[in-house]
Amino acid sequence: VVSIHRPTKAIIDLKAIKENVENEVARLPKATDLFAVVKANGYGHGAIETATAALEGGASGFCVATVDEGIELREAGFSEPILVLGIVSVADIGLLSYYNLSFPVSTNEWLQEAAAFLQKNPVTNPLKVHLKVDTGMGRIGFISNEELLSAVKWLQEQSLFTWEGVFTHFATADQADDTYWQEQNQRFQTALACLPELPRYVHAGNSATALWHAEAVGNMVRYGIAMYGLNPSGTALPETYPLKPALSLVSELVQVKLLEKGAGIGYGETYITPQAEWIGTVPIGYADGWLRKMQGFSLLVAGEYCEIVGRVCMDQLMIRLPRSFPAGTKVTLIGEDNGQCITMQKVAEQLETIHYEVACTLSARVPREYKS
């Protein structure tokens, strides 16, 4: 259940998303499309709202991870091209046709299985295939160019299939050392050179590729993390233009008290006040995706950093305050407050992870409030 009767909420700035897309569209080589990657509920930002803002910014299609995420967009009324990025079960290809969802194919076996399935389960709308080439991500994709070529030749003879795309995915586009990126890019170009023709979409890029490898081949970029205003490399590579972070996370103090020296805070009494201290309680915890490892991280109250003291609970946490504040005072967990800023990157560093994971693991209990 989304808990709206609680001051904790994520605020999504849709104008930032729109502008991040506009800025990228403006710098893309001409005739290169931008598909907004809105999988995982728009990296936790809200798929439908993000997709709407991305369209306004000039996106011409969407990428999702699963058939269901594609269906969600269609049922919300989006008619633009939608590419499912994950392998789809042959048993579900009726859905791909019905909802007009493009999808990846990475083996000839899948195509043969699909042909057999279609014998008994004919579809009306053509099945739009993007052939995936594994150039070094080691996840999904054709490994040999021979296999890729035989898939192309087979598709060219089919009436129920449209060969709509060929693509690959880079594993190190967000790193300063581009050695492996160059190897993958070369493999992709070699694969393309083997093909008798090219389909409507040739695409290789995620945000990092679009930002730092403009030389990548293709006529479409799959733009995810940078659309949300987050630097794909974390802090490893400079942003080529200012990315506007879209998500902030706020709450309020629900109780403030002065505790004497020696008072235990939180489960396991892992914090004992070394002196009399003002302690505030904030209604957010690990069930909201604000994980226990955030103990020791500081939140912003009236522009001052206040350390999370004691263990983060399932639904609440406690912070040390510099002085008394009234209950209801705003607490900023991610975002700007009185000239200070807590970035999602900082949260990721505390968790020894990446900001993608922080964004995606904000739980459904946290309401998303949209401003444009």
Residues with catalytic roles: 39, 267
Residue 37 vs 246, nearer CB to ligand PMH: 37
231 binds ligand PMH (CB under 6 A): no
The number of residues that bind ligand PMH (CB under 6 A) is: 13
Query: For strand 220-223 and strand 201-205, is the pairing parallel, antiparallel, or unpaired?
Result: parallel
Stretch that binds ligand PMH, among 45-53, 116-124, 191-199, 206-214 (CB under 6 A): 206-214
Alpha-carbon gap, residue 60 to 36, rounded angstroms: 8
Residue with structure tokens 């970029």?
221
245 binds ligand PMH (CB under 6 A): no
57 binds ligand PMH (CB under 6 A): no
- Nearest approach, Cβ of 194 to ligand PMH (angstroms)? 21
Residue 51 vs 63, nearer CB to ligand PMH: 63
201 binds ligand PMH (CB under 6 A): no
Among the listed residues 70, 81, 224, 266, the single contact to ligand PMH using CB under 6 A: 224
Q: Which helix (H) or strand (E) holds 191?
A: helix 179-193
204 binds ligand PMH (CB under 6 A): no
Q: Could you say which residues in the range 169-198 bind ligand PMH, by CB under 6 A?
A: 169
Alpha-carbon gap, residue 275 to 94, rounded angstroms: 67
Stretch that binds ligand PMH, among 16-24, 48-56, 186-194, 220-228 (CB under 6 A): 220-228
Decide if 318 contacts 280 (C-beta within 8 A).
yes
Judged by DSSP in three states, 271 sits in strand
Residue 63 vs 216, nearer CB to ligand PMH: 63
Q: Which helix (H) or strand (E) holds 31?
A: none
85 binds ligand PMH (CB under 6 A): yes
Among the listed residues 57, 141, 199, 232, the single contact to ligand PMH using CB under 6 A: 232
Among the listed residues 62, 103, 297, 356, the single contact to ligand PMH using CB under 6 A: 356
Residue 207 vs 332, nearer CB to ligand PMH: 207
45 binds ligand PMH (CB under 6 A): no
Decide if 129 contacts 199 (C-beta within 8 A).
no
Stretch that binds ligand PMH, among 105-113, 204-212, 255-263, 265-273 (CB under 6 A): 204-212
Alpha-carbon gap, residue 14 to 45, rounded angstroms: 9
62 binds ligand PMH (CB under 6 A): no
Stretch that binds ligand PMH, among 26-34, 202-210, 243-251, 361-369 (CB under 6 A): 202-210
C-alpha to C-alpha distances, 284 to 60, 163, 301, nearest whole angstrom: 37, 48, 15
* Interface positions with ligand PMH (CB under 6 A): 37, 63, 85, 169, 206-208, 222-225, 232, 356
